[in-house]
Amino acid sequence: MLPWLSAPNTALVVLLMLSAGAVAAPLAPVGGEDATAALSDAGGSVIAYVSSSTDNQAIRLVNPDGTGDRAFWRVPTASEPGDGIGTLSWHPDGAELLFDSGHDWQRSMAIRDLYAVTPDGSRFRRVSSPPGPNEYGPYPTGTVTFIVDAIEQGDVQIYIDGAAEPVKYSAGLYDVYRITQTVADLGDGVRQYIRLWDPETYSYPCHFSANGWVDVVPGQVNDLGTLYFGAVSSDFACPRMFSATWFHDGSRLLYLFREATPDASPENNLWQIATRAPVNTIGSRVLDMNAYTAPGKLYRAVMGPTAAQADQMLFLQNQALSDVVFYGTTANAASSRSINLGRCPQVTCDLLDVAWLPDGSGFVLARYEHEALSTPVGALYRYTFADQRLTAIVRLPGEAIGKLAVAPDGEAIVFERGPFVAGTTDQVYWGPAVQCPCELWRVQSDGSGLRQLVADGRAPAWGRLAPGAGPEPDPNLTPRAWLPFVGAK
């Protein structure tokens, strides 16, 4: 349904989205065979990964021995690589595969959300701020109308929570516009937020108004009056969720969240959210990095794998010369302590990923050791808590090792392998990453048996699951809780 425009005078343009009853179709699995068939020769163990390693458009499954490589799920074909799939994480019982992606940012308050899909690819859902647009069908609808007063020009768009599509239009400088759209009512008392997006802005492309929300009343016209988006007061860093991981029992998720903030250099904070969160909620903050002076950015977090480590986590922080691994709990994250990895063999040691050993006795990390005029080294190490010892598993001179995953039995590791670490500003905000195209390689935990697993792939996740596993839809979702989405420090 396309918007139509009319201009009753030079200052007021009406945009009406005739979208009642329009619902985006769920994203279907790809591949002609049942995706879980890839498990048949793997003892219930399977590796999921992102393909290709440069366009980030699809998730594939492969057996640990390299057989059964098949398509599993993909984003819409129009997605940009930067809006594609991030990292993956299998549910502890294999019920779902969790990932972050920005493929549907135009229909969300965040430009990167958390999603989950069942092993057979049949059920797909948005985990953060549920439900996603593909799940609006059962909800009643109401009409929202308001006047937008914003100093914007050129191509802009407005998105209202509950809408099947954003409203897109070309804005004239100092003009005001009336937006009218029919949206899903997500429940009594649920705030449905409104965002303005302007990619040509001189500051931030995301804009939030203090009064930019509506509690939709079904079957009625909800008139919000005028929403003012100021040139400075409404400028916010676009919220972004990434690096999600399950708690050991699958009841909650830990993730990193660049919150909507007017700060020039926003922090990546630790958040948690229930696996089946209340409607339109984003969870609760675990660690606020704004409480610290000039901290390095957090860029990776993983939860403990067993009941004994139920509340324990590891997370990585970007620092000038050598990145740091922190160990702590979600209950007392502010008291997390750094782990002494010993002296860096070269001037700089970048940590590209960390993963728990399945029994919780330690972890495996990927490190890139480099300095001027020397050959850099990509290396995998194992750290054990009992003896506080760091042991090299494999070292690759002149190459880089990136995202990794440990086999459920701890006997092998799969990892990204590429020529070097990408030298972009993304490293400052989202952590160091291998320059792709890159490959996936497998090695035994003792360093033997190094071999290529996939010729082009990234972000592996290794899980043990039963074919056909997957949760039933939750009939008890209650749309009654909400958390404020926008807040200044």
User: Average pLDDT of 239-256?
Assistant: 97
Write out pLDDT tens, residues 79-97.
888 899 999 999 999 999 9
Write out pLDDT tens, residues 273-289.
999 999 999 999 999 99
Of 449 and 472, the structure prediction assigns the larger pLDDT to 449
Identify whether 437 is preceded by a cis peptide bond (ω within 30 of 0).
yes
Q: Where are the domains of the chain?
A: 4-24+135-236, 35-133+238-464
Tell me if the pTM is above 0.85: yes
User: Which pLDDT value is given to residue 34?
Assistant: 44
Write out pLDDT tens, residues 351-391.
999 999 999 999 999 999 999 989 999 999 999 999 999 99
Write out pLDDT tens, residues 402-419.
999 999 999 999 999 999
Q: Are strands 141-150 and 221-229 parallel, antiparallel or unpaired?
A: parallel
Of 42 and 59, the structure prediction assigns the larger pLDDT to 59
Residue 351: CB atoms within 10 A of its CB come to 23
Amino acid at 467: P
Which percentage of the chain shows pLDDT scores above 90?
71
Write out pLDDT tens, residues 100-120.
999 999 999 999 999 999 988
User: Which pLDDT value is given to residue 203?
Assistant: 63
Amino acid at 181: Q
- pLDDT at residue 455 is higher than 60: yes
- pLDDT at residue 467 is higher than 70: no
Which percentage of the chain shows pLDDT scores above 70?
85
Q: Is residue 480 within 8 Å of residue 189, measured between CB atoms? A: yes
CATH of region 4-24+135-236:
2.60.40
- pLDDT at residue 466 is higher than 60: no
For 35-133+238-464, which CATH superfamily applies? TolB, C-terminal domain (2.120.10.30)
Transcribe 100-137 into DSSP letters: EE-TTGGGSSSSBEEEEE-TTS--EEE-SSSPPGGG-T
